[in-house]
Structure 1
Amino acid sequence: MLFHLDFHVEYGATMSQQDLFATWTREAEAALGAKKAGVVVDLWKVAGERRVIAIVDVDSHDTLDEISLTLPIMVEMGQYVTIDVTALRRYEDFAASVGRLLQN
């Protein structure tokens, strides 16, 4: 199952920028490891914003929930992170469905 994840990261007034960078470094290591393992299809940092976009491929909604709750950035500062999730469908599968619907 493919999902588009859009992470919006804020940080509290008591957290220094260095602390944010330390957490984000741990998150980057985990994210790049997941990309190498094939769970993360691709990953982007939005320029000029504290925002990251990922496409992930997991076996279930439950797995997505478990992964997102255990990410370093969520464990360390989850109250300041919002994740917008969109389920994705491969366009090729959609096109095949449309073709079948046209035939009916």
Structure 2
Amino acid sequence: MLYHLDFHVEYPASMPQKDLFSIWAREADAALGAKQAGVVVDLWKCVGARRVIAVVNVDSLDTLDQILLDLPIMKEHGQHVQIDVTPLRRYEDFAADVKKRLG
């Protein structure tokens, strides 16, 4: 199943930016490894924002939840990360369904 993940990363004013970047570097290694493994279909960093968008392919919500809990950024900085999760349907499947409904 495909899911759209929208990560919003904040950090407290008392945290040096270098510390955030250190966590984010470990997260980037994990994310790019997951992309090579085929779990992450693709991901993007939004320009000018601490926001990352990913499309992932996992077999269940349970698996997705387990993966999210194990991410470096969640383990080390999770109280400052909000993730919006949206299940995705392949457009080709939707289009075929719509055409069937026409008659």
| TM-score, normalised relative to structure 2 | 0.97
State the one-letter code of the partner of 1:99: K
Distance 2:65 2:14 in 1: 28
Moved over 2 A (4+): none
Question: What root-mean-square deviation, in Å, do the aligned CA atoms of Structure 1 and Structure 2 show?
Answer: 0.7
1:65-95 per-residue CA deviation (whole Å, 9 max, x = no partner) reads: 1111110000000000000111100000001
In 2, Cα distance between equivalents of 1:59 and 1:15: 36
Of stretches 58-67 and 9-18 in structure 1, the one that deviates more from structure 2 is 9-18
For 2:42, the equivalent position in structure 1 comes to 42
Specify every segment of 5 or more residues in structure 2 that has no aligned partner in the other structure, as ranges: none
Aligned length: 103
Which AA in structure 1 matches 2:61?
H
Q: Give the distance between the partners of 2:49 and 2:8, measured in 1 at CA.
A: 8
**Any unmatched runs of 5+ in structure 1?**
none
- 1:76-91 equivalences under 5 Å are 76-91=76-91
Report the identity percentage: 72
TM-score where L is the length of structure 1: 0.96
Query: Shift of the alpha carbon at 1:14?
Result: 2.7
